[in-house]
Structure 1
Amino acid sequence: MQSAPPNPTIRIQIRVSLLSVAMFLLKAWRSTAFGVYGYLNFTKSGFLEHSKDFNPEDMARRIDGKNCVITGANSGIGYATAHGLASRGATVYMVCRNKERGEDAVSKIQSSTGNQNVHLEVCDLSSVRDIKSFSSRFKEKDIPVHVLVNNAGLLENKRVTTSEGYELNFAVNVLGTYCMTELMLPILEKSQPDARIITVSSGGMYAAPLTTDLQFNSSKFDGVTQYSSNKRVQVALTEKWAEKYGDKGIGFYSMHPGWAETPGVAKSLPSFSKSFEGKLRTSDEGADTVICLPLKHHIGTGNLFAEIAPYNNRSVETK
C-alpha cells in the first residue's frame, strides 16, 4: 500500500527593515494628520471660524497710487487678488500666459471695480526667456513697483519638459518664481520701504520636506508630490530672500490660501475637488491674506505666522 505523497510546503521570507517600516508609518501619520488639520482649518468652515477675528478696518484701507504686479492673474486666487487690489485703488498689472483670457479678465475687473488702471502683461512663467523679456519691458516703464505677488502656479500630473529643458511644475513654481523675484528686485527698490513681495504657497507644502531632487529625477514621477515639494521650496526661498535683501527696504512674505475652489484645483485634482464639493473656500476667501498684506501699514518681514495669523491662520511657517 502506497503512502500519500507529502504536501508541498512553500515558505516565503519577507525581510523588511525597521527603517522602512518607520518611514512608512511616519508618512502615513503625516498624511493623516495633515488631512485632519486641513479639513478643520483650510476649508470654508475654517475660514468662517477664523474670520470672527478679522478687523474690517484693515481690509477697508485704500492704496491709490500703488503699483501691483500679480502673476497668474486671469483666474482663481490671482484674479481675486487683482480684483481686490483694483477695487481699493491700486494700479494693477496682471501677468498672464494667455492673451485672450488675460484681456477678458482685465475687462471684467475694469468694469466691476470702475478702476481703469488695470493692465495686461503677457508672459509665460514657465520660460526664463519670457520672464527676462517681461522684466526688461517693465523696466522701460520707469515706474516703481510697490507689490509683487508671485501667484502663478501649476500642478501637472504627467512629466512634461519645457523647451528650455526643465520639468514643467518646477519651471513654473520654483524657477519662474525665483527669476521673477530676482529680476524685479531693482524696480521694487524704488518704492522702499513700502515694497512687498508676496509668494502664494500651498497647504500641501506641510506634507513635503525640502529636497535636492527639484526636478523629480530620482524616482517615478508624481505630480502632486512634485507640486507640494515646489511649494515648500517657495517658503524656503522667502526665508533666504528676507535674509539676503533685508537691508533693501523690501518685505518678503509667504502664505497659503487654504483649500479653495479654483479652476486649477478642479482641473489638476478632480477627485479632491469632487470629494470636497461645497466645502472648499471661494477664490475671494482664499485671497484674503494676499490682499491684506499690501494694505497693512506695519508688518514684519519673512515669517508671517505671528503677525498675520488673525487674518486666516494659514500664513506659512517658514522656520
Structure 2
Amino acid sequence: MKSGRLQFQLQLQLHFSFSISTALSLAMFLLKTWRQTAFGLYGYLNFTKPAFLDHSKKFKAEEIETKIPGKNCIVTGANSGIGYATAEGLAHRGATVYLVCRNKERGEAALSQIQSKTGNQNVYLEICDLSSVMDIKSLASRFSKNNVPVHVLVNNAGLIEQSRETTSEGFELNFAVNVLGTYTMTELMVPLLEKTSPDARVITVSSGGMYSTPLIRDLQYSESNFNGTEQYARNKRVQVALTEKWAEIYNNKGIGFYSMHPGWADTPGVAKSLPSFSKSLSGKLRTSEEGADTIIWLALQPKEKLVSGAFYFDRAEAPKHLTFAATSGSHSVINSVIDSLRSMVSLSV
C-alpha cells in the first residue's frame, strides 16, 4: 500500500515538474516570438529608407553644417559602408580623421577617395584587426606615444558571421569584433579623450536588432546552438548597455557616450551577411550616407543638447526597449559583463 502511494506521489511530482518545464519553455518561446515580431514591425515602420525620408522632414540642415577643423576623429571599420560615409562626412567638415581598417588595400583606397572627394589631406590610415585585443592595444599605444588628443571616437566596425569561428586569441569572432573590440578600444582611448574634455565623445554604432534580445551573460554564445544573426543582436544589446554604464563610470571626465542605430542600410556588410534580408527589402534600404547621418549629427552637436548614455536614432533620443519585450531589467547584469570583459583583455580597474 505504501509502495503504491509512494509510486503515485513520485509520478505526480514528475508530471508536475514536466508540466512546469513545458510551460516555461512555451513561455520563453512565445516571448522570443513576440520580440522578433515586435522588432520586425517596428523596424519596417521606422528603419527603412521611406521612414528616413519622412523623419528627415523634421531635420534642421544647420545642425550638420558645423565645421570642425582641428578636431581628431577616429572611425573604425571606415573602408566601406556606414563607416566610410561617416569618415567622409567628418573629413568634409574639416576634421582630422583616422580610418581604422583591417585590410590595408581597401583602407588605402578609402583614404585616397576621401582625400580626393573632400580636399582634406588630414586623413590618415591605421591598420588594425579589431577582432584582436593585441592589435587594438598596439593601435592605442601608437596614439598614446604620439600624444594624439581624441575628440571623437566612432565605434563603427561590426560583423555578422553566421558560422561559429574563433579568433587566434580564443574568442568567438562576432563577439571579438562587436563587443570585446569596442570595449577595448573605448577603454584604452579614455585617457586621450580626456585631453579634449569637456567636448570629447564616443559614438557606438549599435543596431535595431538589439531590440529582439535582452542582455545576457553568455557573451560567446556557448550555451546553445550557435546562431550568427542572434549573436549579432546580443552583441548590439551589450553595446547599448556598455554605453549606459560608461556614461555613469566616466560622468566626471567630460566625455559623452552615445549609442545609435543607423537604420536598415544597403551596405556591403548587410548584402554579404544577410542576403535574404537585403533582397527582400531591395529599394527600401537606406543609403550608407543616410545611415551615417545620425553619427555625424552626434559628432557635431553641442553636448548640452545630448544625453550621455542615451540611444539615438534619426537625430533623436530613442527607446532602448520595446513594449512588453521584457528586456529592460536585463541591463542589471552589466557589471558582471564588464568584469568578464576586463578579465579577457587584462585591463586594470
Tell me the distance in 1 between the aligned counterparts of 2:165 and 2:158.
15
Alignment match of 2:138 (pick from 133, 144, 150) = 133
Please say if residues 254 and 302 of structure 1, whose CA atoms lie closer than 8 Å, have aligned partners that are also in contact: no
Q: Which deviates more from structure 2 when the two are superposed, residues 203-212 or residues 308-317? A: 308-317
Please say if residues 84 and 110 of structure 2, whose CA atoms lie closer than 8 Å, have aligned partners that are also in contact: yes
Partner of 1:69: 74
Alignment match of 1:282 (pick from 258, 283, 287) = 287
Q: 1:20 to 1:315 in 2, by over 3 A?
A: closer
TM-score (norm 2): 0.84
Tell me the distance in 2 between the aligned counterparts of 1:211 and 1:289.
28
Report the Cα offset of residue 220 of structure 1.
0.6
Partner of 1:168: 173
> 2:92 aligned with 1:87, yes or no?
yes
Report the Cα offset of residue 315 of structure 1.
7.3
Report the Cα offset of residue 299 of structure 1.
2.9
Tell me the distance in 1 between the aligned counterparts of 2:125 and 2:185.
16
> 2:302 aligned with 1:302, yes or no?
no
- Between structures 1 and 2, the one with greater helix share: 2
Alignment match of 2:256 (pick from 251, 260, 272) = 251
Q: Which deviates more from structure 2 when the two are superposed, residues 290-299 or residues 100-109? A: 290-299
Tell me the distance in 2 between the aligned counterparts of 1:309 and 1:276.
20
Q: 1:316 to 1:261 in 2, by over 3 A?
A: farther
Report the Cα offset of residue 22 of structure 1.
2.0
Tell me the distance in 2 between the aligned counterparts of 1:62 and 1:241.
27
Deviations 1:109-140 (A, max 9, x none): 00001111110000000000000000001112
Report the Cα offset of residue 314 of structure 1.
5.1
Partner of 1:3: none
Count of residues paired in the alignment: 305
Deviations 1:70-106 (A, max 9, x none): 0000001100000000000100000000011000000
TM-score (norm 1): 0.92
Aligned pairs for 1:5-154 (under 5 A) are 17-154=22-159
Please say if residues 158 and 222 of structure 1, whose CA atoms lie closer than 8 Å, have aligned partners that are also in contact: yes
Amino acid at match of 1:189: E
Please say if residues 94 and 120 of structure 1, whose CA atoms lie closer than 8 Å, have aligned partners that are also in contact: yes
Q: 1:54 to 1:315 in 2, by over 3 A?
A: farther
Tell me the distance in 2 between the aligned counterparts of 1:237 and 1:121.
25
Tell me the distance in 2 between the aligned counterparts of 1:231 and 1:310.
17
User: What is the root-mean-square deviation of aligned Cα atoms in Å?
Assistant: 1.8
Tell me the distance in 1 between the aligned counterparts of 2:318 and 2:99.
25
Please say if residues 194 and 255 of structure 2, whose CA atoms lie closer than 8 Å, have aligned partners that are also in contact: yes
Tell me the distance in 1 between the aligned counterparts of 2:252 and 2:90.
27
Q: Which runs of 5+ in 2 are unaligned?
A: 1-17, 322-327, 332-349
3-state SS, counterpart of residue 125 of structure 2: strand
Partner of 2:315: 311
Tell me the distance in 2 between the aligned counterparts of 1:216 and 1:55.
42
Tell me the distance in 2 between the aligned counterparts of 1:207 and 1:92.
34
Among all aligned residue pairs of Structure 1 and Structure 2, give the percentage whose two residues are the same amino acid: 69
Q: 1:304 to 1:40 in 2, by over 3 A?
A: same
3-state SS, counterpart of residue 94 of structure 1: strand
Please say if residues 246 and 309 of structure 2, whose CA atoms lie closer than 8 Å, have aligned partners that are also in contact: no
Please say if residues 123 and 131 of structure 1, whose CA atoms lie closer than 8 Å, have aligned partners that are also in contact: yes
Tell me the distance in 1 between the aligned counterparts of 2:191 and 2:159.
27
Tell me the distance in 2 between the aligned counterparts of 1:278 and 1:290.
23
3-state SS, counterpart of residue 131 of structure 1: helix
Report the Cα offset of residue 173 of structure 1.
0.4
Please say if residues 72 and 96 of structure 1, whose CA atoms lie closer than 8 Å, have aligned partners that are also in contact: yes
Tell me the distance in 1 between the aligned counterparts of 2:199 and 2:242.
20
Report the Cα offset of residue 304 of structure 1.
3.2
Tell me the distance in 1 between the aligned counterparts of 2:56 and 2:318.
12
Q: Which deviates more from structure 2 when the two are superposed, residues 104-113 or residues 25-34? A: 25-34
Report the Cα offset of residue 312 of structure 1.
5.6
Deviations 1:267-286 (A, max 9, x none): 00000000000000000000
Amino acid at match of 2:111: V
Amino acid at match of 1:302: S
Please say if residues 197 and 251 of structure 1, whose CA atoms lie closer than 8 Å, have aligned partners that are also in contact: yes
